[in-house]
Amino acid sequence: MTYCWSKRGPKIYAYYTCARSRDHGADTCPMPSLPAPDLERLVVDEIAAICRDPKLAEEVTAEATTQHAAEVAALRTRLRDAEATAAKAAKTAERAGPTALKERDELRQADALVASARAALAEAETAVVSKTAARSALSKFEPVWSALTPGERIQLLRLLVERVRVDGQAGKVSFVFRATGIAALARHADAA
């Protein structure tokens, strides 16, 4: 589902609608559009309930730790690949000589990819949160949430939640936390 809105007079209506329905007609998706405020409140209430339950908070923390380790491993692989590409581009540029503009441009692009990969890896490595800090941050979700502005709330949710799944047939809503989102919540909790 994707976020949509419409305006009728001065009032704005925000809702989530099935992307298939939006692109190919309402009869292509069995799920009706859902009012954005209701769905968002449901997600926030679910996050708060998980954060209040020590066992669920522990499961979320463990899953976030696993996700984070996988993300760091993928970023290390990305960096190694970028460095190999840059080394190859450097050799090619060296062989081509100082007037070979195409090769020099390829080397600059490869070096930029290495810098980007290093920055992403450094950011991911600093997003590590201890289990104790993660549990503490999750326990402070509700007071942190109530102190945030609407814009900060949107930003925190985008950092905290990777995906929301709505199963209209079963009447269930589930979501996946982002590993880096717990680190962001911990930063907000420390600042509050």
Average pLDDT over residues 19-23: 79
Q: Domain boundary residue among 126, 160, 177?
A: 126
Average pLDDT over residues 41-49: 85
Lowest mean pLDDT among 18-27, 55-64, 180-189: 180-189
At 99, the pLDDT band (50, 70, 90 cuts) reads: confident
Q: What is the pLDDT of residue 67?
A: 80
At 26, the pLDDT band (50, 70, 90 cuts) reads: confident
Average pLDDT over residues 115-141: 83
Q: What percent of the chain has pLDDT over 90?
A: 21
Distances, alpha carbon 56 to alpha carbons 19, 59, 71, 139, 145, in Å: 31, 5, 22, 11, 19
Distance CA 190, CA 192 (A): 6
Give domain status of residue 112, yes or no: yes
Q: What is the pLDDT of residue 188?
A: 64
118 and 64 share a domain?
yes
Distance CA 70, CA 124 (A): 11
Distance CA 180, CA 20 (A): 30
28 and 63 share a domain?
no
Contacts 24+ apart (CB under 8 A), 94-100: none
Higher pLDDT, 184 or 151: 151
Distance of CA 157 to the CA centre of its chain: 9
Q: What is the pLDDT of residue 55?
A: 87
Give domain status of residue 189, yes or no: no
SS (H, E, C) the chain: CEEEEEEECCEEEEEEECHHHHHHCHHHCCCCCEEHHHHHHHHHHHHHHHHHCHHHHHHHHHHHHHHHHHHHHHHHHHHHHHHHHHHHHHHHHHHHCCCCHHHHHHHHHHHHHHHHHHHHHHHHHHCCCCHHHHHHHHHCHHHHHHHCCHHHHHHHHHHHEEEEEEECCCCEEEEEECHHHHHHHHHHHHHC
23 and 75 share a domain?
no
Distance of CA 128 to the CA centre of its chain: 15
118 and 63 share a domain?
yes
Distance CA 175, CA 141 (A): 16
Higher pLDDT, 115 or 48: 115
**Torsions phi, psi of 176, nearest 5?**
-115, 125
Higher pLDDT, 89 or 52: 89
The pTM assigned to this predicted structure is 0.62
What range defines the domain where residue 23 resides?
Answer: 1-32
Q: What is the pLDDT of residue 106?
A: 92
Give domain status of residue 69, yes or no: yes
- 8 A C-beta contact, residue 16 and residue 3: yes
Q: Domain boundary residue among 99, 126, 153?
A: 126
Q: Domain boundary residue among 106, 126, 146?
A: 126
Give domain status of residue 164, yes or no: no
64 and 121 share a domain?
yes
Q: What percent of the chain has pLDDT over 70?
A: 95
Give domain status of residue 40, yes or no: no
Q: What is the pLDDT of residue 13?
A: 86
Q: What is the pLDDT of residue 124?
A: 85
Number of domains forming the structure of the chain: 2
Highest mean pLDDT among 7-16, 53-62, 107-116: 107-116
Average model confidence (pLDDT) across the chain: 83
Give domain status of residue 94, yes or no: yes
